[in-house]
Structure 1
Amino acid sequence: GPPLAAPRRPGLARFIERAPAFQWQQEQLLPGADIQNNPFRDLAMQRNPDSPHTFVKYLAARGGLTEYLHLNTKFPLRREYSAYLAWVAEAFRDRVDYGRSAAHLSLVEGEDGSELFRVETDDGGRYLARSISLGTGRSPRIPYVFQKGLGESVFHSTRYLSSIERYKDKAIRVAVVGASQSAIEIILDLLGRPNVRQVTSVHRGIGFRLKDTSPYSRQVFLPEFVDYFHPLPSARKRQLRDELRSINYAACDQDVIDRLVGAQREFDLSGSDRLVMRPFREAVVSRPHGEGLRMVLRDINHLTEETLDADVVVLATGFRDFGGEPGDEPYHPLLEGIAHRLPLDEDGSPVVARDYSIELKTEAGTPRPLKVYLNGLCEASHGMGDAGALAMLSVRATDIVDSLLRHETRESEPLLAAGTTP
């Protein structure tokens, strides 16, 4: 994505972005989908209401402020907010190297004998920096049974639109695994596609649960909650995250639940099996069958099994955390080249400071510890507000930039190199 906080000394930051141009949730810009976040908690408003990069300034610049206010809508469409983010990104285009993917991170010796980070890209590019910030997003969570079958017909929700478009001229049956907001939005989109003969919703719970949207619960998206959460022991952090799970995970907004229930009732009244619900089920086998796939679903309570045939499987199964729990990964794959220098906690996860930095273990004679910053990758250490929540973008970026400026030692050294987004 775009640099969310420009450094106060221009020219010392460089951003590396895999995509050929700015994009945000490109694979999930579905008709009617909104952002579920107060639009004025944007890239800059909380940090600086007078910034030229606020959502209000965007609306005013395109002559759409009066029209937007007239709509009296709680949340803007995802497509509109994506356009706002792209508008901001355009102002920083000269600092971003688009179409380059960070492939390897290592440590090298600088001309003065001090250590530097080296970022190598997939096209042979090389960058040197005193500090690195990774804003890559977490790795998709792929259930074990589907890991070997990923491809054109089995894919994660982060690849939804481009993948499903390949089937627009073919009659298909689709299974959607998961009970998240993304899952229900994808099901509604599939039901609006004439070529989709049947949609089967597979999830381990009773169905699509209502998201906890109480202002008291949503305090998890405030900076004050990060201050409260970060010092807790790892075990207590895990317990608290489980208790608060329905605020952001395996839960949906009322409007999409109402739309799906209405569609299901229409199908029931007409005797149609176009929408099939399979609650309390998990896939235990997935294998090719004809031109599609055959899955074995197990009822997690009765332990009975049934088969389900589908042409396409969409995995709306979320993302992997950093930690020692089943399905977690110990750290972001891009950190593999410096893993031997990462300080680890009792779970084997990197120790991340409140300012989102990991201070590398020093060796004898090291003048100043190098730091790598994790931007949007710290849910396990900083709480749910770090799980891609738009509400935290500007304040988190401020924390990172303030920390970078506090720890710099020479005006000539590079401050920041950003990672790629998925």
Structure 2
Amino acid sequence: MKTNKVHPILGIGFGPANLSLAVALDELGRPDDAHFLERSPGFQWQDEQLLPGTDIQNNPFRDLVMQRNQDSPYTFIKYLASRGALTDYLHLNAKFPLRREYAGYLAWVAQSFATHVDYGQSVHTLALVEDSDGGELFCVRTHEGARYLAETVVVGTGRSPRIPAPFRTATATAAGVFHSTRYLSSIEALAARDIRVAVVGASQSAIEIVLDLLARPNVRQVTSIHRGIGFRLKDTSPYSRQVFLPEFVDYFHPLPSATRRRLRAELRSINYAACDQDVIDRLVGLQREYELTGSDRLRLAPFTEVTAVDTAPGGGHRLSVHDVNHLTRDTIDADIVVLATGFKDFGTGAHDERYHPLLEGLAHRLPLDDDGIPVVERDYSITLKASASAPRPLKVYLNGLCEASHGMGDAGALAMLSVRAADVTASLLHLHEDGRAPRRAAERVLQ
């Protein structure tokens, strides 16, 4: 499918980040300025991690819009009221909403923007093409054969899954090894098999997956592998959690790259490799129960790192591991391996990527800092370097990918959705007012 229609704003991905952007544009009377592409057949949010009893770990007032516009029809409170569920929710006296309930809220908002989204379109390239005015446009192509033109692109796909090096081999990428982003559908497809499962990681998602596995009758044994001492308690101090305030972005963004890396490492326990008290208590209780009954159904492997993955005798996977302190070696056999190992940041480290893979077609035009990482401005944009034939620079926005440049509140955190959408929207409209972009959708003939 080809078209010469030019979208003023084209959003890639339609999860919470770009959904919040759609809401912000709608409330400014500009809903038709933006169109979105989403690879899923319909709206979904964390479908692979909607596990029983899990919550969002976020105050529901910090939703798609509340911090920006308390009168909006798209708040979480309005969602509950529309379903006649507000009183019941308040009666729960819950600190955080269940993940499944919040997914319902996001889907409810997304219904209002159904005509602005092409679902079932998985983007594989983002490039630049010339138009008949001698300028440039973004050209987006999908695996389904569609092509889209745009004056401005907003990438809101979420970060790339982090796959540790030993699991990138041909053996490890075979059936039976998958990232947590594919957990639920993958594990439910194995319901008829008696399985041993290894879970790599010490995050909130890791402990939730361990608990879910232990509730499944076909799971014979769960081995929980982490480099540290075990599941640590998340730092939930109001002082520490200032990283999720917009003021912290203003403080963090101007810092030198090396200082930002140091600060992120110091604050890591606020959001990474750490868990909430309730899930830790649940797992400790189960661990004690198994100890009292002499069961080895739950095995904990602290201070352990996987160094290689091979095929185990009789099938499944044999993980070569070592103790990160004593350097002693051992093996762990499992039929299934779940990687609850998080996501990549922009950077030069072993677990980083210099930029999101979708930006590969723009790599020659990306402005880079001293470390070779794209320079992301405070408004979440990258201003592409001008070319000789098209001196007017274009902007691509990164909506929810910028933890390395904007701090921990950016990547994946629901807390920053509405304020980040306000920043991006203000920048987009400023471009429009300058007469550079975005303009109203128009038909153009490409040279």
* Shorter-chain TM-score range: over 0.9
Give the CA deviation at 1:414: 5.3
Partner of 2:41: 20
- 2:394 maps to 1:381: no
Do the aligned partners of 1:13 and 1:414 also contact (CA within 8 Å) in 2? no
- 2:114 maps to 1:93: yes
Partner of 2:444: none
Name the amino acid aligned to 1:133.
V
Choose which of 249, 261, 270 in structure 2 pairs with 1:238: 261
Task: Show CA shifts across 1:372-397 (max 9, x none).
Answer: 00000000000000121001011111
Give the CA deviation at 1:306: 1.1
Aligned alpha-carbon RMSD (Å): 1.2
Do the aligned partners of 2:204 and 2:274 also contact (CA within 8 Å) in 1? yes
Inter-CA distance 143–274: structure 2 relative to 1 (3 Å threshold): same
* Comparing 406-415 and 22-31, the one that deviates more: 406-415
Name the amino acid aligned to 2:19.
P
Give the CA deviation at 1:166: 1.5
- 2:276 maps to 1:260: no
Name the amino acid aligned to 1:75.
F
Name the amino acid aligned to 1:62.
R
Inter-CA distance 82–207: structure 2 relative to 1 (3 Å threshold): same
Give the CA deviation at 1:266: 0.2
State how 1:216-227 maps to structure 2 within 5 Å. 216-227=239-250
Do the aligned partners of 2:380 and 2:424 also contact (CA within 8 Å) in 1? yes
Q: Distance in 2 between matches of 1:313 and 1:301?
A: 23
Choose which of 177, 180, 196 in structure 2 pairs with 1:173: 196
Inter-CA distance 413–287: structure 2 relative to 1 (3 Å threshold): same
Inter-CA distance 384–414: structure 2 relative to 1 (3 Å threshold): farther
Choose which of 38, 45, 55 in structure 1 pairs with 2:59: 38
State how 1:336-355 maps to structure 2 within 5 Å. 336-355=360-379
Give the CA deviation at 1:366: 3.5
Task: Show CA shifts across 1:342-399 (max 9, x none).
Answer: 0000111100000000000112464531000000000000000012100101111111
Partner of 1:405: 429
Q: TM-score, normalised by structure 2?
A: 0.91
Q: Distance in 2 between matches of 1:291 and 1:170?
A: 13
Do the aligned partners of 2:134 and 2:389 also contact (CA within 8 Å) in 1? no
Give the CA deviation at 1:130: 1.1
Q: Distance in 2 between matches of 1:5 and 1:12?
A: 11
Do the aligned partners of 2:151 and 2:437 also contact (CA within 8 Å) in 1? no
Partner of 2:357: 333
Name the amino acid aligned to 1:131.
T
Q: Distance in 1 between matches of 2:389 and 2:426?
A: 26
Partner of 1:5: 21
Q: Distance in 2 between matches of 1:247 and 1:99?
A: 35
State how 1:194-209 maps to structure 2 within 5 Å. 194-209=217-232
Name the amino acid aligned to 1:282.
E
Do the aligned partners of 1:130 and 1:414 also contact (CA within 8 Å) in 2? no
Secondary structure of 2:32's aligned partner: coil
Task: Show CA shifts across 1:183-236 (max 9, x none).
Answer: 000000000001111000111000000000001000000000000000000000
Partner of 2:154: 133
Give the CA deviation at 1:67: 0.7
Do the aligned partners of 1:285 and 1:297 also contact (CA within 8 Å) in 2? yes
Do the aligned partners of 1:296 and 1:306 also contact (CA within 8 Å) in 2? yes
State how 1:317-332 maps to structure 2 within 5 Å. 317-332=341-356
Choose which of 319, 331, 335 in structure 2 pairs with 1:307: 331
Name the amino acid aligned to 1:61.
S
Q: Distance in 2 between matches of 1:55 and 1:103?
A: 33
Partner of 1:110: 131
Inter-CA distance 414–306: structure 2 relative to 1 (3 Å threshold): farther
Give the CA deviation at 1:110: 1.4
Q: Distance in 2 between matches of 1:146 and 1:127?
A: 35
Q: Distance in 1 between matches of 2:420 and 2:159?
A: 17
After the TM superposition, which parts of structure 1 deviate over 3 Å for at least 4 consecutive aligned residues? 364-367
Inter-CA distance 411–370: structure 2 relative to 1 (3 Å threshold): closer
Partner of 2:11: none
Q: Distance in 2 between matches of 1:265 and 1:135?
A: 43
Partner of 2:319: 295
Secondary structure of 1:399's aligned partner: helix
Secondary structure of 2:306's aligned partner: strand
Percent of paired sites with the same residue: 70
Task: Show CA shifts across 1:109-168 (max 9, x none).
Answer: 112111111111111111111110000111111111111212430010110001111211
Q: What count of residue pairs does the alignment treat as equivalent? A: 415
Q: Distance in 2 between matches of 1:346 and 1:234?
A: 9
Secondary structure of 2:31's aligned partner: coil
Partner of 1:419: none
Give the CA deviation at 1:410: 6.3
- 2:226 maps to 1:210: no
Give the CA deviation at 1:285: 1.6
Inter-CA distance 72–412: structure 2 relative to 1 (3 Å threshold): closer
Inter-CA distance 61–258: structure 2 relative to 1 (3 Å threshold): same
Name the amino acid aligned to 2:56.
I
Do the aligned partners of 1:3 and 1:15 also contact (CA within 8 Å) in 2? no
